[in-house]
Amino acid sequence: MTYRTSFSSRIVTLLLLTISFLHGATTLTSDGLTLLSLLTHWTSVPTLIRSSWNASDSNPCSWVGIQCDHIHNVISINLTSRGISGQLGHEIGNLYHLQTLVLLRNGFSGTIPSSLGNCSKLEDLDLSFNRLSGEIPKSIWRIPSLVNILVHNNSLSGELPFEMTNLKYLQNISLFDNQFSGVIPQSLGINSSIVMLDCTNNKFSGNIPPNLCFGKNLRELNMGSNRLQGVVPSDIGRCETLRRLILNENNFSGALPDFERNINLKYMDISKNNISGPIPSSLGNCTNLTYINLSWNKFAGLVPSELGNLVNLVILDFAHNNLQGSLPLRLSNCTKLDRFDVGFNFLNGSLPSSFRTWTEITTLILRENHFTGGIPGFLAELSNLRELQLGGNLFGGKIPRSIGTLHNLFYGLNLSANGLKGNIPSEIGKLGMLQSLDISLNNLTGSIDALGSLVSLLYVNISYNFFTGSVPATTILAKLLRSSPSSFLGNHLCVTFSCISADNLNPSDKVSKFQIVMMEVGSSLFISAILVIIIRRYLQRKEPERASDPKQMFFNVRGEESFEFTNDSDYELKISTEKMSSLQEQVLEATENLKDEYIIGRGAHGIVYKAIIGQQ
């Protein structure tokens, strides 16, 4: 159907052209005829364009998307977001006076016609957000008047030719989200005043051209997600006009250059490279910086105190490096901070109380360092916090009660792997929006009743503390225990559940009694024998500690191979503080944490489960 429509539209266009010539009804200019010829290559054309581009007109200057000069030559085509599809058409090269061609956000496919190079007056070429493929013809890189070439978000490939370095008017080059490869011509920038070069998300290799700022107009250099290597050129550090620098996800190495003159720099992302050495203190001169990301590199040394000059800073990310020392007090001057991440370094010392000036911060990540002291009480003043990550440090003392005032905590609270002690403050139950809580690997004691109020929790880890008491089956904690029992290991906790009734223990209608017996011979008897031995050992060693309520099942998962099963309707799961044995883990896995569907009977000592384990 689409083919017939396309074919019919081409026939109509050709008929209009034929009528125009045969009857002399109009004297449509050659540029107008060229535009009508382009229509024959387009498989989808909106009605507005088809009705506007009329062969009966004397010139195309009033057509949708067309502009002409004073003598009716087409100088501009702008068909942005018109829903056009099909191929561009080689006739485009007949528009010799064309200065602007903007076809972005359409469905053009196929290759860019080499005849476009005949448009020797072309200044602005924008073919971005289409489905074009193949290489950019070299003829285009020879158009002497070319100022802007924007072809991002296509499927273009190939290498950039040396000819592009001779274009003295070239300013803006946008190639991102394509499949270009090879080395960027190293003399680029010497003969022109490059303003913007965006090669993000391609396959370029080699070094950054060393003279991109030679014309002293470079504002944006975006080279992220390629295969570039070598050092960051010193020319970049001296580029006073540079506002945006993106070099992330490459293989750059060596040290960063000094940034003594980059007073206009606002955005810097050099993450995920192999850059080493110290963080340049000269970054403190870039007082307009709002975003700086140096994460996932090999930076070492101290965090420069000069960064306190960056009073406009909103995002600072130095995570996953080798930074040492304490955080400089002068960072408290960065009062506009929204995100501060120095996780996975070797930083130490306590958190300066002067950081209470970060009143706008929403994300504070200090995890996996060597920070010491107590968890600062001033954190409660950072009322906009949505994520607080302090795990993997050397914090001691108690969890401050004031942490319960952080009502906006949403994404996570991580205090794990520290030296915290004492009870969980009841105020923590006021964090009603909290979705993730990790307080594992501490020395916390008491009950976990306060956590029962955290109704939004999707993840919790309280393992390897010294918690005692029960976990009510009606709370979110009981649900999380069922889905992730390892998050509760290493404590002395009891959880109350309800067993199925005796009426539900009859064999399934789909399985005969003989089949059940045969399955039990190979597996159930083996497991049952082991369980009996374990039960006897438990009874001998733990008889004085048995609860007065006979309606219980105790299950010890610390390393003592002890089980006790009763045959009444309720049981409790008792989790003590040593690591679960291999056998117990296998039993739990085979029965999906003792689901009722694995019960095959009841005896004098309690419930019998069927579990099939490997032959290790």
pLDDT at residue 460 in the model: 96
Residue 612: closest CA among 557, 601, 592:
592
Q: Does residue 371 contact residue 303 with C-beta atoms inside 8 Å?
A: no
Considering the domain boundaries, does residue 26 fall inside one? no
Residue 428's SS3 state is: helix
Read off the pLDDT of residues 227-268 as tens digits, 9 standing for 90 and up. Answer: 999 999 999 999 999 999 999 999 999 999 999 889 999 999
User: How far apart, in whole angstroms, are the C-alpha atoms of residue 203 and residue 225?
Assistant: 8
Considering the domain boundaries, does residue 542 fall inside one? yes
In one-letter notation, the amino acid at residue 167 is L
Considering the domain boundaries, does residue 250 fall inside one? no
Considering the domain boundaries, does residue 535 fall inside one? yes
pLDDT at residue 549 in the model: 40
Q: Kindly report whether the global pTM for this prediction surpasses the value 0.75.
A: yes
How many other CB atoms are there within 10 angstroms of residue 247's CB atom? 25
How many other CB atoms are there within 10 angstroms of residue 238's CB atom? 16
Read off the pLDDT of residues 320-359 as tens digits, 9 standing for 90 and up. Answer: 999 999 999 999 999 999 999 999 999 999 999 999 999 9
Q: How many Å separate Cα 178 from the centre of its chain? A: 20
pLDDT at residue 609 in the model: 60
Identify the domain containing residue 505 by its residue range. Answer: 499-609
User: How far apart, in whole angstroms, are the C-alpha atoms of residue 463 and residue 75?
Assistant: 71
Residue 557's SS3 state is: coil
Torsion angle in degrees (nearest 10) through CA of 496, 537, 484, 615: -140
Residue 580's φ and ψ, nearest 5 degrees, are -60, 135
Low-confidence ranges of the chain (pLDDT < 70): 1-26, 474, 496-588, 593-596, 599-616
Torsion angle in degrees (nearest 10) through CA of 405, 409, 414, 419: -10
Considering the domain boundaries, does residue 593 fall inside one? yes
Q: Does residue 310 contact residue 332 with C-beta atoms inside 8 Å?
A: no
pLDDT at residue 616 in the model: 46
Considering the domain boundaries, does residue 323 fall inside one? no
Q: Does residue 168 contact residue 145 with C-beta atoms inside 8 Å?
A: no
The number of domains in the chain is 1
pLDDT at residue 612 in the model: 67
How many other CB atoms are there within 10 angstroms of residue 514's CB atom? 8
Considering the domain boundaries, does residue 378 fall inside one? no
Considering the domain boundaries, does residue 225 fall inside one? no
